[in-house]
Amino acid sequence: MIDKERLAAHLEAVRRGSPLVHNITNYVVMNNSANALLALGASPVMAHWVAEVEEMVAIAGALVINIGTLDGEWIEAMVVAGRAARRRGTPIVLDPVGAGATSQRTQAAWRIIEECTPAVIRGNGSEIMALVNSDVRSKGVDSSASSDDALEAAKVLAERTGAVVVISGPTDYITDGTRTETITNGNPIMTAVTGMGCTATAVVGAFVAMGDDVLLSATHAMAVMGVAGERAAKVAKGNGSMQIAFLDELYNLTGEVLKNEVRQ
Amino acid sequence: MIDKERLAAHLEAVRRGSPLVHNITNYVVMNNSANALLALGASPVMAHWVAEVEEMVAIAGALVINIGTLDGEWIEAMVVAGRAARRRGTPIVLDPVGAGATSQRTQAAWRIIEECTPAVIRGNGSEIMALVNSDVRSKGVDSSASSDDALEAAKVLAERTGAVVVISGPTDYITDGTRTETITNGNPIMTAVTGMGCTATAVVGAFVAMGDDVLLSATHAMAVMGVAGERAAKVAKGNGSMQIAFLDELYNLTGEVLKNEVRQ
Amino acid sequence: MIDKERLAAHLEAVRRGSPLVHNITNYVVMNNSANALLALGASPVMAHWVAEVEEMVAIAGALVINIGTLDGEWIEAMVVAGRAARRRGTPIVLDPVGAGATSQRTQAAWRIIEECTPAVIRGNGSEIMALVNSDVRSKGVDSSASSDDALEAAKVLAERTGAVVVISGPTDYITDGTRTETITNGNPIMTAVTGMGCTATAVVGAFVAMGDDVLLSATHAMAVMGVAGERAAKVAKGNGSMQIAFLDELYNLTGEVLKNEVRQ
């Protein structure tokens, strides 16, 4: 169980500190991720040119790497940026979108893990399982894994990589292999909005940039996602208005609301 | 005239079957297209890396190719993915965005037609005319063609390519060269929302993935677009809220509403 | 001070003339920029392939170059398109996103300035200062410059380049080095919507395409942005609904409202 006062204080710290979050992410979600970070008071920058990523990551508080629309050149930029972040001690958050759907995605995720040592890996159940067991095949970018199997895989992945592993789902699991936190907020309509998981990864980036405990930071970020998503679902009329209401809820979310509504 | 019970059943089949639709599409509309597919219960994936497209198309129910922001590498990926889909018998839907605006676009569209044999080609009147008559020049990506001239061109293109050709407009035409269906739903404000045509192409992808008759599948998809667009236009206050209301209407659209409101 | 009748007439001219605006812009904002141009009745096209940009710019009324997610190939396409626009006398609007954040961005912006001679350069205070004084470092893509320092830099940049320079902020400054106009409309929530500055640049493109005086055209465009933003902020509940309400306001904006609400 997390300390709710500390959770509330962390949100306020992000709003006050306005960390620069450097994203190398996919085309589909760039707009949403940038708006979600702005809604929290963070400062997003998207930059993927291999010639400039080292300079950009040098001024960032966190690096978010998302392989949702990868290709060879983008992987090179991710690795170059990730190595630079590693050298500087800047935390990296990896989103292995579609791992298991194609072998290129699974391999790219593992290359980034090995060369850049991310602080956090966030995916859905299928993606996390595919990283641990190469026999698991995902159906595209959506999850079909059971949460028990996925949690087991998350613990194995955390132990093998040293990263905190986050699985998004009806219950979010956040584990370092030994300690596991859960967040049970959220609403199923979140899965009908493209890039909601990618947005969670970006939000984790903002929280690790302003936190010292990685497991707590990732848990706090997932609490923010879940509470904002749950509140947005109450006013959404479909997945279109859900995408917009979610940003509005993030924008207005206070530490007070967060600590009253979070459920573990 | 289409059978309205079959139309309603097709929508429900998409929702239940959740087909994976592999999109190689343009940067402008990726977010909208993904959300439109999710609103219908389909499962979108965007993947354009030449190294992975064959593996991705192998798990997809349809391939959507859209040349809206093309370049040389993307064309290669489109052709490689399209040939793989052709070998597997996976239906391809082509959106020749901006054909006629530059010669590269017209040529790229024809290369994809010849090497990949799409099941459906969907464009606006100017684009379809430009594919048939190289003297026709489009103004960018918007249409200025009369619907009579465009329908004539659509029939010629269908006969020449074996594809079902769809022209979006105040009246949508869906033709295989011999048989022609029409849908007269919709609202002019749809043309003020970027990528509404590209979204139609993606929706056609979901319907051909779950249908056996290509002409009917394309007609059903255009009925869904038209009815959702018409309903959304009633609550939209401008093109911003139109984009959002359209997704909400797609999300909530039932077979019952669809068969009551479709007009041919 | 600008003539308000002329401002209103210019907006109507854009709606009637529907200029084709060719954008080579960043992935984050393509959707918003296209919708903003459509909301004003303009006709947006996004095209970045070096093989086709000369042909596309040949049918455009203005070229918008935005380096927000640049890489080597995109810079080549920007320069090729920009040189073609220069030869044809088609006005170019440059958005030097993140100039000062990395040396590559500052250099790319200067290369485009020197080889393509933009009619307008629009940025935030930090970006404009970084172009004039290479010692200025931006924090990512957000501004931290004081408006006095920035205006001084804008005048220097205008004199050095021959471009009209626009600085967005609580007060927008539009200067050719000698004459300076201001617009004081707007609302702080605009800075929480990603790509609002990039959208301003695209809107400037539509106005220079339909105007003969560059300083006035840029001022008119910033008036439209400010008035629409101010009206949208009254109904927005957060940065999500702000993005949507802003498009709706642009869509419904009339010359009459514009001349009544603009403040200098």
DSSP-assigned beta bridge partners for residue B66: B95
Q: A43-46 and A20-24 as β-strands: parallel, antiparallel, unpaired?
A: parallel
Nearest to B214 by CA among C223, B222, C183: B222
For C102, which of A52, A244, A245 is closest by C-beta distance? A52
CATH tag for C4-255 (out of 1.20.1340.10, 3.40.1190.20, 3.40.50.300, 3.90.1310.10): 3.40.1190.20
For B71, which of C34, C49, C56 is closest by C-beta distance? C49
Do the beta carbons of residue C37 and residue C14 sit within 8 Å? no
Distances (CA, A) of A122 to A60, A105, A161: 20, 14, 13
Residue type, C185: N
Q: What is residue A134's predicted lDDT score, i.e. its pLDDT?
A: 67
For C31, which of B28, B139, B141 is closest by C-beta distance? B28
Q: What is residue A149's predicted lDDT score, i.e. its pLDDT?
A: 87
Weakly modelled stretches of chain A, pLDDT under 50: none
Per cent of chain A over pLDDT 70 is 96
**The three-state (H, E, C) secondary structure of C99-157, written as one string:** ECCEHHHHHHHHHHHHHHCCCEEEEEHHHHHHHHCCCCCCECCECCCCHHHHHHHHHHH
Between B188 and C148, where is the model more confident?
A: B188
Task: List the single residue in A with minimal CA-CA distance to B50.
Answer: A71
Which residues of C are less than 8 Å from A73 in CB distance?
71
Whether A194 and B34 lie within 8 Å, measured CB to CB = yes
Residue A143 CA to residue A123 CA, distance in Å, equals 9
Task: List the single residue in C with minimal CA-CA distance to A31.
Answer: C28
Which residues of B are less than 8 Å from C30 in CB distance?
27-28, 69
For the cut 90, the answer to whether the pLDDT of residue B196 exceeds it is: yes
Residue of B237, B242, B243, B246 to mutate, testing the C interface (most C Cβ within 10 Å of its Cβ): B237
Residue C250 CA to residue B20 CA, distance in Å, equals 36
Q: What is residue C134's predicted lDDT score, i.e. its pLDDT?
A: 67
What's the gap in Å between the CA of A100 and the closest CA on chain B? Answer: 10
Which residues of A are less than 8 Å from B245 in CB distance?
240-241
| Neighbour tally for B250: CB within 10 Å | 27
Whether A105 and B48 lie within 8 Å, measured CB to CB = no
Nearest to A48 by CA among C142, B68, C130, C28: C28
CATH tag for A4-261 (out of 3.30.1490.20, 3.40.1190.20, 3.40.50.720, 3.40.190.10): 3.40.1190.20
Question: What is the average per-residue pLDDT within B206-216?
Answer: 97
Whether B193 and C38 lie within 8 Å, measured CB to CB = yes
Whether A59 and C31 lie within 8 Å, measured CB to CB = no
pTM over 0.80: yes
In the three-class reduction of DSSP (H, G, I as helix; E, B as strand; rest coil), residue B45 is classed as: strand
- ipTM for the complex shown: 0.96
Residue of C138, C237, C248 to mutate, testing the A interface (most A Cβ within 10 Å of its Cβ): C237
Nearest to A98 by CA among B67, B22, B76: B22
- With an 8 Å Cβ cutoff, the interface of chain B facing chain A consists of 20, 22, 27, 30-31, 34-35, 38-39, 43-52, 55-56, 59-60, 73, 243-252
Ranges of each domain in chain A: 4-261
Could you tell me the pLDDT band of residue B30, with boundaries at 50, 70 and 90?
Answer: very high
Do the beta carbons of residue B35 and residue A193 sit within 8 Å? yes
Q: What is residue A225's predicted lDDT score, i.e. its pLDDT?
A: 98
**For the purposes of burial, counting CB atoms within 10 Å of the CB of C23, is it exposed (0-12), middle (13-18) or buried (19 or more)?**
buried
Nearest to B118 by CA among B67, B185, B59: B67
Do the beta carbons of residue C98 and residue C69 sit within 8 Å? no
Whether C45 and B105 lie within 8 Å, measured CB to CB = no
For chain A, the maximum distance between any two Cα atoms, rounded to a whole number of angstroms, is 46
Cα radius of gyration (chain A): 16
Residue C217 CA to residue C94 CA, distance in Å, equals 15
Q: How far is CA A63 from the centre of its chain?
A: 11
Task: List the single residue in B with minimal CA-CA distance to C45.
Answer: B140
Do the beta carbons of residue C119 and residue C92 sit within 8 Å? yes
Task: List the single residue in B with minimal CA-CA distance to A137.
Answer: B59
Distances (CA, A) of B151 to B182, B217, C252: 11, 19, 33
Whether B140 and C27 lie within 8 Å, measured CB to CB = no
In the three-class reduction of DSSP (H, G, I as helix; E, B as strand; rest coil), residue B227 is classed as: helix
Which residues of A are less than 8 Å from B251 in CB distance?
192, 237-240
| Neighbour tally for B135: CB within 10 Å | 8
Do the beta carbons of residue A21 and residue A62 sit within 8 Å? yes
Dig out the tokens for C194 from the structure: 């990603």
Whether C142 and A43 lie within 8 Å, measured CB to CB = yes
Q: What is residue C146's predicted lDDT score, i.e. its pLDDT?
A: 73
HSE-up (13 A, CA, CB side) for residue C130: 32
Residue A199 CA to residue A48 CA, distance in Å, equals 18
Which residues of B are less than 8 Å from A141 in CB distance?
43-45
Q: A120-124 and C180-183 as β-strands: parallel, antiparallel, unpaired?
A: unpaired
Q: What is residue A136's predicted lDDT score, i.e. its pLDDT?
A: 65
- With an 8 Å Cβ cutoff, the interface of chain A facing chain C consists of 20, 22, 27, 30-31, 34-35, 38-39, 43-52, 55-56, 59-60, 73, 243-252
Q: What is residue C135's predicted lDDT score, i.e. its pLDDT?
A: 66
Residue with tokens 């080095």: C177
Dig out the tokens for A180 from the structure: 């596991």
Nearest to A82 by CA among A44, A121, A31: A121
Average pLDDT, chain B: 96
Which residues of B are less than 8 Å from C249 in CB distance?
238
Whether A141 and B59 lie within 8 Å, measured CB to CB = no
Which residues of C are less than 8 Å from A249 in CB distance?
238
Residue with tokens 């097709």: B10
Residue type, A136: V
Which residues of C are less than 8 Å from B194 in CB distance?
31, 34-35, 38, 44
For C35, which of B139, B142, B243 is closest by C-beta distance? B243
Could you tell me the pLDDT band of residue B37, with boundaries at 50, 70 and 90?
Answer: very high
Could you tell me the pLDDT band of residue B133, with boundaries at 50, 70 and 90?
Answer: confident
* Residue pLDDT tens, chain C, 264 long: 999 999 999 999 999 999 999 999 999 999 999 999 999 999 999 999 999 999 999 999 999 999 999 999 999 999 999 999 999 999 999 999 999 999 999 999 999 999 999 999 999 999 999 999 866 666 666 666 777 889 999 999 999 999 999 999 999 999 999 999 999 999 999 999 999 999 999 999 999 999 999 999 999 999 999 999 999 999 999 999 999 999 999 999 999 999 999 999
Which residues of A are less than 8 Å from B55 in CB distance?
101-104
Whether B55 and A142 lie within 8 Å, measured CB to CB = no
What's the gap in Å between the CA of A215 and the closest CA on chain B? Answer: 30
Residue type, B227: V
What's the gap in Å between the CA of B76 and the closest CA on chain A? Answer: 13
Whether C243 and B240 lie within 8 Å, measured CB to CB = yes
Do the beta carbons of residue B204 and residue B165 sit within 8 Å? no
Which residues of C are less than 8 Å from B105 in CB distance?
52
For the cut 90, the answer to whether the pLDDT of residue B261 exceeds it is: yes
Q: What is residue C140's predicted lDDT score, i.e. its pLDDT?
A: 67
Residue A249 CA to residue A40 CA, distance in Å, equals 10
B81-119 residue pLDDT tens: 999 999 999 999 999 999 999 999 999 999 999 999 999
